[in-house]
Amino acid sequence: MAAGEPDTECLFCKIVAGDVPATVVRETKDVIAFADINPQAPVHILVIPRAHYANAGELGAVAPELAGTLLAEAAAVAAEQDLDGGYRLVFNTGAGAGQTVFHVHAHLLGGRGLTWPPG
Ligand code: 5GP
Ligand code: ZN
- Is residue 6 a part of any domain in this protein? no
- The answer to whether position 66 is within a domain reads yes
**Arithmetic mean of pLDDT, 31-59:** 98
Report the CATH number that the domain containing residue 78 is assigned in CATH: 3.30.428.10
Mean pLDDT of all residues in 94-103: 97
- By the 8 A CB rule, do 40 and 90 touch? no
User: What is the domain extent for residue 85?
Assistant: 11-110
pLDDT of 119 reads 78
3-state class (DSSP) for residue 71: helix
Domains in the chain, number: 1
Mean pLDDT over the full length of the chain: 97
Q: Is residue 115 part of a domain?
A: no
Task: Give the number of the atom of ligand 1 that is nearest the alpha carbon of residue 99.
Answer: 3
Q: What is the pLDDT of residue 2?
A: 87
pTM over 0.85: yes
pLDDT in tens, 9-42: 999 999 999 999 999 999 999 999 999 999 999 9
Do 107 and 89 contact (CB within 8 A), yes or no? yes
In a domain, 3, yes or no: no
How distant, in Å, are the alpha carbons of 13, 20, 39, 50, 64 from that of 17?
6, 8, 22, 9, 23
State if residue 10 touches ligand 1 by the CB under 6 angstroms criterion: no
Q: Can you say whether the dihedral through the CA atoms of 68, 74, 77, 82 is positive or negative? A: negative
Query: Hey, which of 45, 46, 88, 103 would you mutate to test ligand 1's pocket, going by the most ligand atoms within 8 Å of its Cβ?
Result: 46
